[in-house]
Amino acid sequence: MPIPANLTIHDAAAALRDGTLTSVALTQEILDRTAAQNDALGAYVEVTADQALEQAAAADAALAAGRDTGPLQGIPLAIKDIIAMKGAPTTANSHVLDPQWGAGTDAPVVARLRDAGAVFVGKSTTSEFALGLPDDTKRFRIPRNPWDLTRTPAGSSSGTGIAVAAGLALGGLGTDTGGSVRSPASVNGHTGLKVTYGRVPKSGVVPLGYSLDSVGPMARSAWDCAAMLEVMAGHDPSDPNASTAPVDAYTAALDGDVAGLRIGVPTEYFLDHDLLDPEVRAAVLAGVDLLVGMGARARDVVVPDAAAAKDATHLVLVAEAYAYHRHDLVHRWEDYGRFTRTSLARGALLSAADLAQASRFRQHFARNVARLLEDHDVLITPTAPTPAQVAAEMDVSQRLRQPAYTGQWNLTGLPAVAVPAGFSSTGLPLSLQVVGKPFAEATVLKVADALQRVTDHHLQAPRVGELVAA
């Protein structure tokens, strides 16, 4: 019997343990599906089929022998191609990165997943160096939205987002510097968690913004993301920014009980912007209403200087990215994609005063958000202002003009999860975002899970076969 594309980690883990499914069968199905669809979707830079089947066989043998390493054992995952993984090169979707970067090593987060018995399908497509739009003049596949191949799958964790939505993996790793886990989750119709800064070690990951970067789980459901985070989180001495805060039992926190939860709903900028799609706004408010119906309390709040925080995030990101790429930009300009190099070059236009002012504003904004969260457990906002846009109509300047709802939480280092919230009138996924206090991943995942107990938006899968055939 074919394995459905919307299979969750939760249900696959149960099936592996009751004997109705083997990891080898699951992995082979996903590899076959990937072979049929990857050219059209561009989800993977490289598929590691032999490694995946070896891992799957080992997972089956361990379970048969009574060795259970947890719910990720035997589960096929995608690894974003800026994260080092044994058995496959790391390219960052670029001709610039040294081919030996990270060779033969697992980043700590990958090593933890490997030790938990996960299966690695391959290295998933990313925007070049996690920045910029796809460039068809380079040799890399162009990632496409599995709900509509003419539309963007968003970035920069494009490939993992596509793979989860299309059933080419049950989950995977993304990185998030200004929204790069949550944006693909939003437009591809699944769950994606940006963790608190330092919650997951990011050594062995090609940097974009040193003070903004995080590594997060992407999967169909909040439970799936929670199961991944339990393995991924925790201190590692190779990352000086990795927190020593204890790791919570995230899956155990998902009990569906949100009675008394205090929700702040920021209308100003987040819900009243002229460029916010009305269907997105309605979906977000419908999600809030569902939570209120379950006993949560919601009230309108103001996130002071939210628009300025978007600009400050961009300034910090570009400055830090330019610091990393400065030498290669001078000597290898043409090797970069045309969108990436112009985005990175903006960093050369910034002054020390610009960065100092951004740093001062960052502290000011973080203090104000912290005060707001003293009286609220979570904030709920849109994840993106529109459903997936037509890829051919996108440009960098347009992205700068639009409102953005994700980068503010990288600037403050707070956890935030993108949650499927329905579909547009044209059948495209919509998403809301739950933002929490530092290291309160359990709370934001609990809210996401509560919504997913009374809706099935996250269980819908695109009809990729029909799109590819057409």
Q: Which of 23, 94, 124, 156 is catalytic?
A: 156
Tokens (6 digits) for 205: 């990951």
- With a cut of 80, say whether residue 400 has pLDDT above it: no
Q: Which parts of 143-295 are beta strand (E)?
A: 171-175, 191-194, 215-219, 262-266
Model pTM score: 0.98
Task: Specify the higher pLDDT residue, 416 or 135.
Answer: 416
Tokens (6 digits) for 280: 């997105």
Residue range of the domain that includes 423 = 9-469
177 closest CA partner among 152, 157, 159? 157
149 closest CA partner among 5, 39, 30, 46? 39
Q: Which residues are CB-contacts of 394 (< 8 A; sequence separation ≥ 6)?
A: 133, 152
Please indicate whether residue 446 is annotated as part of the active site: no
Q: Would strands 171-175 and 191-194 be described as parallel, antiparallel, or unpaired?
A: unpaired
User: What's the rounded Cα separation, in Å, for the pair 257 and 10?
Assistant: 19
Asked if residues 369 and 264 have their Cβ atoms less than 8 Å apart, the reply is no
Please indicate whether residue 343 is annotated as part of the active site: no
Q: Is residue 3 part of a domain?
A: no
Asked if residues 229 and 195 have their Cβ atoms less than 8 Å apart, the reply is yes
Q: pLDDT band at residue 430, thresholds of 50, 70 and 90?
A: very high
User: What's the rounded Cα separation, in Å, for the pair 318 and 341?
Assistant: 11
- With a cut of 70, say whether residue 290 has pLDDT above it: yes
Asked if residues 125 and 43 have their Cβ atoms less than 8 Å apart, the reply is yes
Please indicate whether residue 202 is annotated as part of the active site: no
Q: Is residue 102 part of a domain?
A: yes
Q: Is residue 160 part of a domain?
A: yes
Mean pLDDT of the region 251-258 = 98
Mean pLDDT of the region 254-281 = 98
Mean pLDDT of the region 77-99 = 97
User: What's the structural domain count of the chain?
Assistant: 1
pLDDT of res. 394: 87
Q: Is residue 111 part of a domain?
A: yes
Q: Is residue 2 part of a domain?
A: no
Q: Would strands 297-301 and 416-423 be described as parallel, antiparallel, or unpaired?
A: unpaired
pLDDT of res. 288: 98
Tell me phi and psi for residue 421, to 5 degrees: -130, 15
| CATH of residue 316 | 3.90.1300.10
Tokens (6 digits) for 407: 């980068």
216 closest CA partner among 240, 244, 250? 250
CB atoms within 10 A of CB 340: 28
Q: Is residue 109 part of a domain?
A: yes
pLDDT of res. 137: 85
Least confident of 136-145, 178-187, 431-440: 136-145
**Which tens digits make up the pLDDT trace of 190-237?**
999 999 999 999 999 999 999 999 999 999 999 999 999 999 999 999
Q: Is residue 4 part of a domain?
A: no
Q: Is residue 198 part of a domain?
A: yes
Asked if residues 140 and 89 have their Cβ atoms less than 8 Å apart, the reply is no
User: What's the rounded Cα separation, in Å, for the pair 209 and 273?
Assistant: 27
pLDDT of res. 156: 97
Mean pLDDT of the region 28-42 = 98
**Which tens digits make up the pLDDT trace of 325-384?**
999 999 999 999 999 999 999 999 999 999 999 999 999 999 999 999 999 999 999 999
Mean of per-residue pLDDT scores for the chain? 97
Q: Which of 180, 183, 214, 431 is catalytic?
A: 180
- With a cut of 80, say whether residue 99 has pLDDT above it: yes
Percent of the chain with pLDDT strictly greater than 70:
99
Asked if residues 378 and 266 have their Cβ atoms less than 8 Å apart, the reply is no
pLDDT of res. 1: 64
Q: pLDDT band at residue 247, thresholds of 50, 70 and 90?
A: very high
User: What's the rounded Cα separation, in Å, for the pair 440 and 38?
Assistant: 36
pLDDT of res. 41: 98
Measured over the CA atoms of residue 385, residue 389, residue 393 and residue 396, the dihedral's sign is positive
Tell me phi and psi for residue 376, to 5 degrees: -140, 145
Measured over the CA atoms of residue 296, residue 300, residue 303 and residue 306, the dihedral's sign is positive
